[in-house]
């Protein structure tokens, strides 16, 4: 039997949405308040969904402690209480929540191999969220 | 095709322990959940059914019927119960959230003739849930 398991995590980070390829006016028109040169921050809620056969001996898709440890080490330690713009992951990409979702998906896909990574869902605020499935 | 989701809550106790493993293995694999005195959760269940909207009623399913089936087949069996000791599915299987979602799917699918079951989602905690779509 194949089941999907989703775990939710919280982290906080700051960012500024700004593209060097756009003029000052274009940046302001595109990103609005998010283009404020001093940046701003969010409490992000990350949902990681993995899937796989339920192991008949354990009743589990994967060891939750392994998933928690991988997300803590690879995602939360990397991004929690950090400025996303100065991270190497966003050296050439604007740290929108779209790009952050894809970055987190790619990091987890490389580092979590005991179940299939189905989807990453990232809430930037209560009002908007983004999903990336590769 | 329209999808309708009904939500309900139940509370139950359980523990995770496989007698085929040694005590040390149970402790390593299941951690605090291996405590044989058990512990409990407030579970949230979301049942999603799908179908075409009946042009006469505007409904995909009669919610009263769905609610009655949920109460009779799931809540009366699981709410305020000890999953290991009182629910036959867990006489041998470990009552993880994965197996709970599968058990609830099986209970509903054989009784639900008012609409087609699409998904069973079981929250064990606000930050942990399992989805089961009836996939083999």
Please report, in tens digits, the pLDDT of each residue of chain B (136 residues total): 999 999 999 999 999 999 999 999 999 999 999 999 999 999 999 999 999 999 999 999 999 999 999 999 999 999 999 999 999 999 999 999 999 999 999 999 999 887 899 999 999 999 999 999 999 9
Number of domains in chain A: 1
pTM (2 decimals)?
0.93
Please calculate the CA angle A75-A78-A83 and round it to the nearest 5 degrees.
120
Would you place residue A101 in the very low, low, confident or very high pLDDT band (cuts 50, 70, 90)? very high
Class of domain B2-132: alpha beta
Q: Is B33 a catalytic residue?
A: yes
Cβ–Cβ of A59/B93 closer than 8 Å?
yes
A40 tagged catalytic: no
Mean pLDDT of chain A: 97
CB contact under 8 A, B136 and A2: yes
Question: What is the distance in angstroms between the Cα of B54 and the nearest Cα belonging to chain A?
Answer: 31
Q: Write down the domain spans for chain B.
A: 2-132
Residues of B in contact with A5 (CB under 8 A): 97-98, 128-131
Say yes or no for a CB contact (<8 Å) between A7 and B127.
yes
Cα of B135 to nearest chain A Cα, Å? 6
| B16 neighbors B96 (Cβ within 8 angstroms) | yes
Q: Collapsing DSSP states into helix, strand and coil, what is residue A28?
A: helix
> Which residue, among B68, B76, B129, B125, has the nearest Cα to B98 in the 3D structure?
B129
Mean pLDDT computed over A106-114: 97
Q: What is the ipTM of this complex?
A: 0.90
Q: What SS3 class is residue B126? A: coil
* Tens-place pLDDT, residues A6-27: 999 999 999 999 999 999 999 9
Q: What is the pLDDT of residue B113?
A: 83
CA angle, corner B88, sides to B125 and A64, nearest 5?
A: 30
| pLDDT on residue B115 | 87
Give me the pLDDT at residue A68, please. 98
CATH assignment of the domain containing A98: 3.30.479.10
């Amino acid at each position: 039997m194949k089941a999907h398991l989703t775990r939710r995590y919280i982290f906080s980070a700051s960012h500024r949405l700004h593209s060097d390829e756009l003029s000052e006016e274009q940046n302001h028109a595109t990103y609005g308040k998010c283009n404020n040169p001093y940046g701003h921050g969010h409490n992000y809620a990350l949902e990681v969904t993995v899937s796989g056969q339920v192991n008949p001996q354990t009743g589990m898709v994967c060891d939750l402690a392994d998933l928690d440890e991988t997300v803590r080490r690879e995602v939360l330690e990397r991004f929690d209480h950090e400025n996303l713009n100065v991270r190497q992951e966003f050296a050439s990409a604007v740290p929108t929540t779209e790009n952050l979702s894809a970055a987190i998906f790619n990091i987890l896909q490389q580092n979590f191999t005991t179940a299939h990574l189905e989807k990453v869902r990232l809430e930037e605020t209560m009002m908007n969220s983004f999903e990336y499935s590769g | 095709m329209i999808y309708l989701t009904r939500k309900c809550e139940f509370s139950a106790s359980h523990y995770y322990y496989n007698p085929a493993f040694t005590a040390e293995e149970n402790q390593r694999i299941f951690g605090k959940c291996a405590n044989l005195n058990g512990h409990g959760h407030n579970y949230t269940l979301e049942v999603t059914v799908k179908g075409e909207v009946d042009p006469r009623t505007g409904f995909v399913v009669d919610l009263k019927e769905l609610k009655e089936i949920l109460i009779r087949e799931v809540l009366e069996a699981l709410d305020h119960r000890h999953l290991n000791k009182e629910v036959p599915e867990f006489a041998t299987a470990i009552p993880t959230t994965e197996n709970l979602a599968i058990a609830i799917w099986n209970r509903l699918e054989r009784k639900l003739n008012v609409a087609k079951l699409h998904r069973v989602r079981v929250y064990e905690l606000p930050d942990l849930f399992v989805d089961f779509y009836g996939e083999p």
